Structure 1
């Protein structure tokens, strides 16, 4: 009988530990949401400084500002969902999250200096670095396709005042 009591005691402490683990993991989503919210504010401020333009002729800062506003709403939704969720969350992939943050920073810092195509390529390549299923050649192809797509959409179709390359 004592053995059964010990087994039950072990089970209780084991369930207490798992409840503690779930609580600790629950903060990962909120921390990620708050980091995304801070990043969205940076994009909105940067877009505002570049100039939003008017609805019939959007300025250079309209896209980063609108993207930042959408990201802010999504970040707030993430934080709310994490608090109202079941408390069981996956461990955040901080390497992938860091790569995405680095890609956004690279794009923000290099778009004006290098031009849209190299900045978009560098951002996509950086964001794809943690993906082990995609080869280096695949990452280069992905970066090339996305950067050419950005050129086609933002420069050719929308006629935004981006330079495709520095000096052009």
Structure 2
């Protein structure tokens, strides 16, 4: 019997983040959108003003019998720079911040433990600035953003 859970991550531009997670065995559904802001039902244009407080996020629905939340955290840490505040590569603004939005106390504990372990390891050379906060309302991004890279035959958008 499958046990579907949700995980929500902000790691820069959501197009590339979605492509990384979409292909993981056990991930059943992905959707890009916005979370963590102060307005209801924001549009991409509003989020890009850097005034709504939302992060570009990926919501992942996964079967925890096939892939663990801890594995998803590992993928999250390995696929962006968690030490740059409000920036990933050429993308600058609070919507590109590194963020984990947890859906349970267990997810919170695992996220905080993995962040602390990675920070102590010194792998990044700088302190990790990733925020770990409770999941709030998820606002699905406009349809043209969903599976954006896949629709264009691209595997990533990283430099």
Q: What TM-score, normalized by structure 2, do the two folds share? A: 0.23
TM-score, normalised relative to structure 1? 0.22
Who wins on radius of gyration, i.e. which is larger? Answer: 1
Higher relative contact order (CA 8 A, sep 6+): 2
Relative to its length, the structure with more strand (as a share) is 2
